[in-house]
């Protein structure tokens, strides 16, 4: 990434998205899971958009993305934290699309009239817990919390004037405001960043996935570009029949190996396993060469595997 500022991103959100994407290419996801995946993906895109804007701010800024904290026995996730000299900006990013309205403090989708999780409550909750986390370490920094709506197709009716929010057409003024904030960071800010990162709790994404078994997943290699399993393997390259994307066989095999390890961390990786996972599309010698080059062989006779 070509950011001037220091951007710390945990793999918290990306691992879950990658797993869902891989599963979706080899397995029919239920409608519920698919909707969950699409909404997570949309949220992620919104967060990346804001992060890319913030990263252009100043070479001195410190940005923490997608962190999960635990405070007072409660976990809370923060999309983006920007550390300035005296202030911590807390951003809750919403990539909502369509028309919404506020009535008596609650938020509704206009087309269905159904209530949605109140973003203001989410933001307040994060603010309170973050304050408590800082307080536990005797850190006195101001917190400025904001909702940031990133989707240009989003409209909110009946929004109160004092709503702590930036709408898509106001993102430039957000950047302008931040540009004017003092960003003279010193060692104590770096320490604060390190402290916050050290408090990030790892949350395994596997528990949130639908149940899946090796035998239920379609075998083969997926195109990196469109995730199709419909590929043709020639002597040196793997060609996607759906989008035409071409990849070196060795690269496709390596990706397949990584996918296998990510989806099934407990399965042993060896030539036999990878050959089966790739649906016997490649010469075993090439598979062996890829494993030898990229992994370490753990010798256990018949049960040798690569790590
Ligand atoms: Zn493709």
Specify the pLDDT at position 57: 82
Above pLDDT 90, what percent of the chain? Answer: 81
Same-domain check for residues 198 and 227: no
State the pLDDT confidence band at 59, using cuts at 50, 70 and 90: low
Is pLDDT above 60 for 1? no
| Number of domains present in the structure of the chain | 2
Same-domain check for residues 34 and 106: yes
| Cα-to-centroid distance, 92 and ligand 1 (Å) | 34
Same-domain check for residues 104 and 245: no
State the pLDDT confidence band at 2, using cuts at 50, 70 and 90: very low
- End-to-end CA gap in the chain: 28
Would residue 159 count as lying in a domain?
yes
Would residue 212 count as lying in a domain?
no
Tell me how far apart the alpha carbons of residues 74 and 181 are, in angstroms, rounded to a whole number: 31
| Cα-to-centroid distance, 245 and ligand 1 (Å) | 5
Q: Phi-psi category of 14—alpha, beta or left, where left has phi over 0 and alpha has psi -120 to 50?
A: alpha
Is pLDDT above 90 for 128? yes
Q: In terms of pLDDT, which residue wins out, 13 or 40?
A: 40
| Cα-to-centroid distance, 116 and ligand 1 (Å) | 36
| Cα-to-centroid distance, 227 and ligand 1 (Å) | 6
Same-domain check for residues 36 and 149: yes
Comparing 28-37, 103-112, 174-183, 234-243, which segment has the lowest mean pLDDT? Answer: 174-183
Among candidate residues 206, 232, 250, the one where a domain is terminated: 206
| Cα-to-centroid distance, 149 and ligand 1 (Å) | 32
The structure tokens listed for 18 are 């990658």
Would residue 1 count as lying in a domain?
no
Same-domain check for residues 98 and 182: yes
Specify the pLDDT at position 34: 95
| Cα-to-centroid distance, 251 and ligand 1 (Å) | 15
Among candidate residues 184, 206, 228, the one where a domain is terminated: 206
| Cα-to-centroid distance, 25 and ligand 1 (Å) | 11
| Cα-to-centroid distance, 229 and ligand 1 (Å) | 8
Would residue 211 count as lying in a domain?
no
Tell me how far apart the alpha carbons of residues 257 and 275 are, in angstroms, rounded to a whole number: 10
Same-domain check for residues 257 and 283: yes
Would residue 45 count as lying in a domain?
yes
Same-domain check for residues 247 and 193: no
Specify the pLDDT at position 151: 97
Is pLDDT above 60 for 3? no
Same-domain check for residues 195 and 221: no
Specify the pLDDT at position 193: 92
Chain centroid offset of residue 38 CA: 12
- Work out the average pLDDT over 121-141: 95
Specify the pLDDT at position 198: 93
| Cα-to-centroid distance, 193 and ligand 1 (Å) | 40
Specify the pLDDT at position 31: 96
| Domain carrying residue 236 | 217-306
Is pLDDT above 90 for 28? yes
Is pLDDT above 70 for 250? yes
| Cα-to-centroid distance, 244 and ligand 1 (Å) | 6
| Cα-to-centroid distance, 230 and ligand 1 (Å) | 8
Would residue 258 count as lying in a domain?
yes
Residues 196-231 pLDDT 10s: 999 999 888 888 899 999 999 999 999 999 999 999
| Cα-to-centroid distance, 15 and ligand 1 (Å) | 21
Among candidate residues 171, 206, 241, the one where a domain is terminated: 206
Is pLDDT above 60 for 300? yes
Same-domain check for residues 231 and 196: no
Specify the pLDDT at position 5: 57
State the SS3 of the chain: CCCCCEEEECCHHHHHHHHHHHHHHHCCCCHHHHHHHHHHHHHHHHHHHHHHHHCCCCCCCEEEEEEEEEECCEEEEEEEEEECCCEEEEEEEECCCEEEEEECCEEEECCCCCEECCHHHHHHHHHHHHHHHHHHCCCCCEEEEEEEECCCCEEEECCCCCCCEECHHHHHHHHHHHHHCCCCCCHHHHHHHHHHHHCCCCCCHHHHCCCCCHHHCCCCCCCCCCCCCCEEECCCEEEECCCCCEEEHHHHHHHHHHHHHHHCCCCCECHHHHHHHCCCCCCHHHHHHHHHHHCCEECCHHHCEEC
Same-domain check for residues 301 and 223: yes
Same-domain check for residues 134 and 172: yes
Same-domain check for residues 99 and 199: yes
Q: Is the separation of the CB atoms in 128 and 136 below 8 Å?
A: no
| Cα-to-centroid distance, 243 and ligand 1 (Å) | 4
Specify the pLDDT at position 72: 87
């Amino acid at each position: 990434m070509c950011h001037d500022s220091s951007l710390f991103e945990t793999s918290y959100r990306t691992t879950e998205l990658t797993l869902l994407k891989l599963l979706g290419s080899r397995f029919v996801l239920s409608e519920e899971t698919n909707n969950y995946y699409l909404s997570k993906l949309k949220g992620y895109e919104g967060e990346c958009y804001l992060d890319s804007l913030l990263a252009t701010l100043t070479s001195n800024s410190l940005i923490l993305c997608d962190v999960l904290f635990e405070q007072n026995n409660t976990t809370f996730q923060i999309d983006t934290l920007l550390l300035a000299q005296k202030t911590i900006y807390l951003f809750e990013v919403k990539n909502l699309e369509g028309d919404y309205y506020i009535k008596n403090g609650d938020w509704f989708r206009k087309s269905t009239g159904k209530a949605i999780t109140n973003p203001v409550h989410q933001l307040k909750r994060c603010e309170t817990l973050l304050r408590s986390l800082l307080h536990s370490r005797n850190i006195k920094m101001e917190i400025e919390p904001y909702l940031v709506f990133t989707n240009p197709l989003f409209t909110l009716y009946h929004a109160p004037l004092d709503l702590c929010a930036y709408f898509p057409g106001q993102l430039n003024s957000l950047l302008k405001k931040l540009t004017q904030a003092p960003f003279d960071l010193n060692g104590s800010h770096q320490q604060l960043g390190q402290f916050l990162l050290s408090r990030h709790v790892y949350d395994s994404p596997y528990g949130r996935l639908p149940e899946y078994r090796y035998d239920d997943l379609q075998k083969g290699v997926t195109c990196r570009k469109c995730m199709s399993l419909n590929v043709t393997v020639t002597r040196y390259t793997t060609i996607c029949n759906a989008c035409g994307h071409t990849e070196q066989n060795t690269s496709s095999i390596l990706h397949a190996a990584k996918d296998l390890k990510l989806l099934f961390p407990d399965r042993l990786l060896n030539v036999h396993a990878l050959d089966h996972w790739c649906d016997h599309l490649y010469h075993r010698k090439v598979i062996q060469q890829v494993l030898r080059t990229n992994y370490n062989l753990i010798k256990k006779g018949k049960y040798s595997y690569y790590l």
